[in-house]
Amino acid sequence: MAYSKTVNQSTMKTLTMKIRLYWQMTKSLQTGLLLSTGLAGYMSARCPVQTWQTLLALAGSLFLAISGSTVLNMVYDRDIDARMPRTQKRPLPMGQVRVVEAITLGVVLSAIGIGWAAILSPLYGLVVFTGLFFDVFIYTIWLKRRTPWSIVWGGIAGGMPALAGRVLGLGMIDWVGMMLAVAVLLWIPTHIMTFSLRYREDYAKAGVPTFPSAYGERITSIIIALSSIATAIAMAIAAYGIGITWGYMRLLIILSCGLLAIAIRSMLRPSFKMNFGLFKFASLYMLSSMLLVVLGVL
């Protein structure tokens, strides 16, 4: 009896530890942010079938597909992760999760996510699959180690959840959905380039080409600022197209002005501190603007 209890406790402990490691591999913060763009895209469509069941199914399928692609990326990048201090403590480089186990996890999560999405709506499933395809195959496997411009393709993948959500709500691809995806696409360079500025030596050690290594810090800072400005413009156009109420539009304009001001200042006087502040503000901006899109159509 006591032996069986000990075995059960030990199994539970191992299971909990595994789940914790798997959770770590899904990059929950990044996945959560992308998921929020998908939910906002869906709710922006003011679809008559906006039931909580559909919303939960959207959240579940997107979460699984995004997490699956993130895990598969980590599998492919485990060698460069091991060379960079920022990432070397991840479960794969640390040997806490075996490669076969991680591949299985990534494939299962992706397959369930895409399958679920396709059952909900074939077009929605196709957009979710396109996002995963661009992220894993085009960005990570094909381009990431070849050219710093790979981030454009990573950006396209990042924009897919917003488009997918809108497609599920509307039943078709429209210009507003595309504009929401473009806003996320333009926000992604701010995110990735700030990291590549901060961890420039790490990326160089791992042999990953980045904008700072290819074009220098000043040009990178300017591109970060320009892409933030473009994000604000794209988001404002999308919000106008969605038809959010004037009160929320005013708030969005204020946040956009804030982002523009910080971006311009960072462009005129580039420094790491300014860039990191811009990166944090841009992330907050993306989350807030998606929230405003949702609240503005309720």
Partner 1 sequence: MRRITPLDRIALLLTCLIAAYKVVAGVEGLPVLATWAYTAAFGVLIISGLLMIINGFDVLDSPLVVIIATIIPLGLSLGMVIENIPDWQLIYLAFVVVGFLAILLTRYLLPERAAAIALSLVHGLAGILIVGLPIAFVLRGAKPILYLFVSAGGALIGSGGILFALLKTGKPILSVEKFFALIPWILFLMSAAFVLGLGV
Note whether 281 binds partner 1 by CB under 8 A.
yes
Please say which residue, 18 or 265, places its beta carbon nearer to partner 1.
265
Note whether 89 binds partner 1 by CB under 8 A.
no
Note whether 268 binds partner 1 by CB under 8 A.
no
Buried b / exposed e along 114-135 (16+ C-beta atoms within 10 A)? bebbbebbebbbbbbbbbbebb
Stretch that binds partner 1, among 159-167, 192-200, 234-242, 260-268 (CB under 8 A): 260-268
Note whether 297 binds partner 1 by CB under 8 A.
no
Please say which residue, 55 or 249, places its beta carbon nearer to partner 1.
249
Note whether 243 binds partner 1 by CB under 8 A.
no
Note whether 251 binds partner 1 by CB under 8 A.
yes
- Distance in Å, CB of 262 to partner 1, minimum: 8
The dihedral sign for the CA sequence 206, 211, 217, 222: negative
Answer whether 294's CB lies under 8 Å from 240's CB. Answer: no
Stretch that binds partner 1, among 111-119, 158-166, 188-196, 249-257 (CB under 8 A): 249-257
Answer whether 185's CB lies under 8 Å from 155's CB. Answer: yes
Note whether 277 binds partner 1 by CB under 8 A.
yes
Size of the site for partner 1 (CB under 8 A): 17
Q: Reduced to 3 states, what is the DSSP secondary structure of residue 175?
A: helix
Please say which residue, 111 or 254, places its beta carbon nearer to partner 1.
254
Rounded CA gap, 67 and 52, in Å? 22
Question: In residues, how long is the chain?
Answer: 298
Distances (CA, A) of 54 to 41, 50, 62, 186, 294: 13, 7, 12, 28, 16
Please say which residue, 66 or 252, places its beta carbon nearer to partner 1.
252
Q: Reduced to 3 states, what is the DSSP secondary structure of residue 174?
A: coil
Q: Largest alpha-carbon pair distance within the chain?
A: 71
Note whether 250 binds partner 1 by CB under 8 A.
yes
Q: CA angle at residue 123 from 167 to 46, to 5 degrees?
A: 20
Among 32, 85, 243, 247, binds partner 1 (CB under 8 A): 247
Positions that interact with partner 1 (CB under 8 A): 246-248, 250-251, 254-255, 257-258, 261-262, 265, 273, 277, 280-281, 284
